[in-house]
Structure 1
Amino acid sequence: MAEPTSSTDPANTILALNDIHKTFSGIHALAGVSFDLRAGEVHALVGENGAGKSTLIKMITGAYSPDKGTISVGNAEYDVLSPEQARQLGIAVVYQEFNLLQDMSVAENIFLTTPPMRPWGLINTRERAKQAYALLERLGAHNHIDPNALVKDLTVGEQQLVEIAKALAINARILIMDEPSAVLPSRDLNRLFEVIRALRSEGHGIIYISHRLNEIFELADRVTVLKDGQTMATKQVSETNEDELVRLMVGRELTDMYPSVDMAAEPGKVLLEIRDLCIENTVFDINFQVRGGEIVGLAGLGGSGRTTIARALVGLAKITCGEIIYFGQAARMTPARAARAGVVLIPEDRKAYGLILDQSNRFNITLPNLSRLEKWRIILKRNERNPVLSAIQDLGVRPPQPELASGNLSGGNQQKVVLAKWLMAQPKVIVFDEPTRGIDVGAKAEIYMRMREIARQGVGIIMVSSDLPELLGMSDRILVLHEGRMAGEISRAEASEEAIMHLATATHQ
């Protein structure tokens, strides 16, 4: 790993947080955390969901004020920063969920707060487009992103580059990247990594947050591990390894990420059968079965039709030909009918489609289960309390507070709440779309174990995933899609990353 000379010298520190404390409702989110960033380095920040990473980032950007501790930027020390101060000091964040106005142009988004002006108070649109082009050129994106294009017409990877260009437009020296690869298809990862390396070589300091530890070892110079709001260690990446980082993150050895093959159940009766299925203009002539007790993986590159099939199974995508046989009977489902029949979806984007974030865990868990809890068409909180507490405890939701807004939970715990609400509905088939995206390694292991336990109870599971190790570790068999068609099926015994990719890319072994 090529490391700029400047990043090795503590004298080049451009940001330092010293003994930061923050408490919410008596719970310590941060307890004496110290962290620093140097010019020309990528400093990774890792930890389980709920470890304090997001709270620390909000301290740096001025969204939260520390109860104790100081923040130093350059040579100045602050007890607290405001968001405007942070921006003026050159601090910018690229969040996992982009903060772009979809119906405005690339140039308008890049210079939304700092447009070049004409002397008489009007925006200089020609100069804005010119400066936007120059910023995109710095990122190597000028050949495929038009400054005048609408953001909604860009790919996810291109929108991320626009977010980075926005940061450069305010002369950001400190760039925070929060799970930047979580939303990207694999083909855009290399471009992102090239941009990060280029920014580092220009002297920018980059805080890189990711649950994908392989990225830390590919990109970062140093790594800091948080656990339960405390700093466990800061290390040179060249002097550590994945096993040590996992041990620091979860507080234990995590030798078995995936449940043992011995836990797999014998497949039972056919629960779902897909016959000659076509969906809109994206999926064609798909055939497969799902049996009780098995986990069927759906693999393929972005745009292959995996999520479209998942959505169609619960009535969220229009079927144009073929049929789906639910428990022996052909039916066209709406989401409500599918849920009543026992077919449910754990969506890819839990924040947008799985939860109402400003409502409580109790509300979210009971929302699709109200008919089970009502008496004379009245829902009493006392009737909700025991089932909700049981679900929270069973899945290990932390903190175990039914009345806490789900938006205040970490990603892994939000995923557990989504799973809890559908398990309460006693489903027969669960479709998991990217079940562990944006979730730390400890929570992943818990969710994998729970998925296998659910399958052993006779539930059929379909798992859509772009994570090849996850597919290999969890699936009893893997169906591979290529451009909307079934490219092949691989048994657990025959499965390998190479076999999946050959089918997904339509290349011959």
Structure 2
Amino acid sequence: MTHGDTLVAQGLVKSYGGVRALDGAGIRLRGGEVHALVGENGAGKSTLVRILAGALAPDEGAVRLAKDTRIATVSQELSLFPDLTVRENLFPHRPPLRLGLLDRGAMDRAARPVLEELGLDVDLGTELGELPLADQQLTEIARALLRRPRLLILDEPTSALPAAAVERLERVLRTLTGRGIAVLYVTHFLEEVMRTAQRVTVLRDGRVASAGVRRTEVTVPELVTAMLGGRPEQSARRTRTVADVPPPVVLSGVNVPGRLTDVTFTVRAGEVVGVAGLQGAGHLDALEVVCGRAEVSAGRVDVGGRGQPHSLRAAVRAGVAFVPSDRKRYGLMVDRTVWENTTAVSWLALGRGGFMPSRSELVRRTANLTERLRLRGGPYDMVARLSGGNQQKVVFAKWLATEPKIVVLDDPTRGVDVGVRAEMHRIVGELATSGAAVLLASTDLAELTEVCDRVLVFVRGRVVGEVHGARLTEHALAVAMQQGATPSI
């Protein structure tokens, strides 16, 4: 370590089973600097942060700290207690005592300057769960600062914060670095990196693609290139016949308070339209409008020729199939058989097959679907015993059984292997070819470029552009999502 270094990590290797999450990664953090850590999903950021914080031991490599360095970490997932007061959340360990009792006065005197610095004006006796999510996140940051750390790790700290709170946090970071504190700032918002950080490290596939480059010496497109690497870009677009009929999905001037502003787009029968954006950009909210899970305050919505659905059940009756990203929570009954899952919507919700179809008929339909999807498992197998990829195929089978006109997919291949991913893409293509309108969101930019005919880019609740044809590449999407405009390529 050199003078001014707070932490130096070198040669870090960490494997989970046969997968290497980190492969020789490292980072150097200096006092008085905000050092941003960026990379795609799965690049190894979370594993690196856990090792630096001491929550995980590396298989190889070393982490060295300057003397008397205290580390505080603020994670993306809040670790607070909503049923306790703000005061109790700020002092979860070793609170000040007086005569064996909690010294609320001492707690308040210690907390107030930190809360004022964060611009958080709340009653310390308020139950935390009553506060807005943004204030809860700032409370967690305040708790970390009360430990007086020399190294503060912020893992996606602004994911739940409105713009004004983000600005307050950035001002606080300038104050902290002015005191010599080192800040590791993990984020996927590159615009925040360009405003806040002094240095940037890029992780790609568990390795350092760019080490501690000065923020003034790099641009957003260059950071995107470092994150994506030299992958071959998808440029030859597929050709599909788009039906010359009224579009099954129409949104015109749609507003959802705090989430969408003047969103307008259509999805025609026979095409796959992607929606892309950073966390909270509004693209997933648009899916919820189509699926009847979000109410609009203005604008026109027409789904399947039936107007705006006001519930998921109404959307299903309009011909919508919804494949969620969290299959175990929303997509499956894991304690039931394959046939019970695949017929749950078509029979129970839509009444396909009559009031009381025979079990043999439902099993026969399931067998046809599982064969079509190449599912490794029979109709009577318990879903809980299937692999993750085959569980996702069961979700697809459930919705294919409804013969949908509109298919809404939210990260449909998350957590599946390469082979299953390719099969899912084949199925999506078949659905569009058969005349369905497909609306696809994915955190995997490569998936959007491989599957979609065009992609709508969302930034801060608005559609800022559309990328299609030869321009539809991972790089173009990433830059558009960060800069708020579709680049000319």
* Shorter-chain TM-score tier: 0.5 to 0.7
Equivalent residue, structure 1, for 2:47: 55
- Cα separation, partners in 2 of 1:12 and 1:145, compared to 1, 3 Å: same
Equivalent residue, structure 1, for 2:464: 471
1:237-271: per-residue Cα shift (whole Å, max 9, x none)?
Answer: 22333333333222217889x99899996874232
Question: Is 2:19 the counterpart of 1:27?
Answer: yes
1:276-311: per-residue Cα shift (whole Å, max 9, x none)?
Answer: 999999999999976446899999xx9999987754
Question: Is 2:136 the counterpart of 1:135?
Answer: no
Output the CA distance in 1 between the equivalents of 2:298 and 2:232. Answer: 46
Q: Is the 8 A contact 1:280 1:318 kept in 2?
A: no
Q: Is the 8 A contact 1:295 1:474 kept in 2?
A: no
Q: Is the 8 A contact 1:129 1:148 kept in 2?
A: no
1:309-357: per-residue Cα shift (whole Å, max 9, x none)?
Answer: 754543435799999754334686642453464324577xx56xx6549
- Cα separation, partners in 2 of 1:403 and 1:346, compared to 1, 3 Å: closer
**SS of residue in 1 equivalent to 2:465:** helix
Equivalent residue, structure 2, for 1:190: 167
| 2:79 maps to which of 96, 99, 122 | 99
Q: Is the 8 A contact 2:281 2:458 kept in 1?
A: no
Task: Specify the code of the residue in structure 1 equivalent to 2:465.
Answer: L
Q: Is the 8 A contact 1:360 1:405 kept in 2?
A: no
How far does residue 472 in structure 1 lie from its aligned partner after superposition? Answer: 1.2
How far does residue 161 in structure 1 lie from its aligned partner after superposition? Answer: 1.5
Equivalent residue, structure 2, for 1:314: 291
Equivalent residue, structure 1, for 2:94: 114
- Cα separation, partners in 2 of 1:220 and 1:324, compared to 1, 3 Å: closer
1:200-230: per-residue Cα shift (whole Å, max 9, x none)?
Answer: 2222211111222222222212222222212
Output the CA distance in 1 between the equivalents of 2:160 and 2:53. Answer: 22
Task: Specify the code of the residue in structure 2 equivalent to 1:102.
Answer: P
| 2:66 maps to which of 67, 71, 74 | 74
Q: Is the 8 A contact 1:314 1:345 kept in 2?
A: yes
Equivalent residue, structure 1, for 2:473: none
Matches within 5 A, 1:167-182: 167-182=144-159
Output the CA distance in 2 between the equivalents of 1:466 and 1:51. Answer: 23
Matches within 5 A, 1:196-211: 196-211=173-188
- Cα separation, partners in 2 of 1:357 and 1:192, compared to 1, 3 Å: farther
Task: Specify the code of the residue in structure 2 equivalent to 1:447.
Answer: L
Q: Is the 8 A contact 1:133 1:147 kept in 2?
A: no
**SS of residue in 1 equivalent to 2:88:** helix
Output the CA distance in 2 between the equivalents of 1:175 and 1:19. Answer: 22
Output the CA distance in 1 between the equivalents of 2:156 and 2:292. Answer: 31
Output the CA distance in 2 between the equivalents of 1:123 and 1:266. Answer: 70
Question: Is 2:159 the counterpart of 1:158?
Answer: no
- Cα separation, partners in 2 of 1:275 and 1:230, compared to 1, 3 Å: closer
Output the CA distance in 1 between the equivalents of 2:142 and 2:340. Answer: 41
Matches within 5 A, 1:163-312: 163-237=140-214, 238-252=216-230, 268-272=245-249, 291-292=268-269, 311=288
Q: Is the 8 A contact 2:458 2:465 kept in 1?
A: no
Output the CA distance in 2 between the equivalents of 1:269 and 1:328. Answer: 8
Q: Is the 8 A contact 1:345 1:431 kept in 2?
A: no
Q: Is the 8 A contact 2:86 2:124 kept in 1?
A: yes
Output the CA distance in 2 between the equivalents of 1:31 and 1:156. Answer: 36
**SS of residue in 1 equivalent to 2:223:** helix
Give aligned pairs, total: 418
Q: Is the 8 A contact 1:274 1:287 kept in 2?
A: yes
**SS of residue in 2 equivalent to 1:223:** strand
Q: Is the 8 A contact 1:43 1:222 kept in 2?
A: yes
Output the CA distance in 1 between the equivalents of 2:114 and 2:320. Answer: 48
How far does residue 168 in structure 1 lie from its aligned partner after superposition? Answer: 1.0
Output the CA distance in 2 between the equivalents of 1:55 and 1:403. Answer: 24
Output the CA distance in 1 between the equivalents of 2:241 and 2:184. Answer: 40
Q: Is the 8 A contact 1:15 1:36 kept in 2?
A: yes
- Cα separation, partners in 2 of 1:447 and 1:284, compared to 1, 3 Å: closer
1:6-40: per-residue Cα shift (whole Å, max 9, x none)?
Answer: xxx94111122222111111221112222221111
Output the CA distance in 1 between the equivalents of 2:134 and 2:465. Answer: 26
Equivalent residue, structure 1, for 2:384: none
Task: Specify the code of the residue in structure 1 equivalent to 2:459.
Answer: S
Structure 2, unaligned runs of 5 or more: 347-358, 377-386, 393-409, 470-482
**SS of residue in 1 equivalent to 2:195:** helix
**SS of residue in 1 equivalent to 2:211:** strand
- Cα separation, partners in 2 of 1:381 and 1:63, compared to 1, 3 Å: farther
- Cα separation, partners in 2 of 1:358 and 1:236, compared to 1, 3 Å: farther
How far does residue 234 in structure 1 lie from its aligned partner after superposition? Answer: 0.7
Output the CA distance in 2 between the equivalents of 1:68 and 1:366. Answer: 47
**SS of residue in 2 equivalent to 1:11:** coil
1:96-115: per-residue Cα shift (whole Å, max 9, x none)?
Answer: 23222223322221112232
How far does residue 166 in structure 1 lie from its aligned partner after superposition? Answer: 0.9
Q: Is the 8 A contact 1:366 1:388 kept in 2?
A: no
- Cα separation, partners in 2 of 1:474 and 1:218, compared to 1, 3 Å: same
Task: Specify the code of the residue in structure 2 equivalent to 1:250.
Answer: L
**SS of residue in 2 equivalent to 1:35:** strand
How far does residue 360 in structure 1 lie from its aligned partner after superposition? Answer: 13
Query: RMSD over aligned Cα, in angstroms?
Result: 5.4
How far does residue 54 in structure 1 lie from its aligned partner after superposition? Answer: 0.9
Output the CA distance in 1 between the equivalents of 2:263 and 2:209. Answer: 49
Q: Is the 8 A contact 1:44 1:222 kept in 2?
A: yes
How far does residue 164 in structure 1 lie from its aligned partner after superposition? Answer: 0.9
Task: Specify the code of the residue in structure 2 equivalent to 1:125.
Answer: R
How far does residue 53 in structure 1 lie from its aligned partner after superposition? Answer: 1.0
Task: Specify the code of the residue in structure 1 equivalent to 2:451.
Answer: R
Q: Is the 8 A contact 1:23 1:29 kept in 2?
A: yes
**TM-score, length-scaled by structure 2:** 0.65
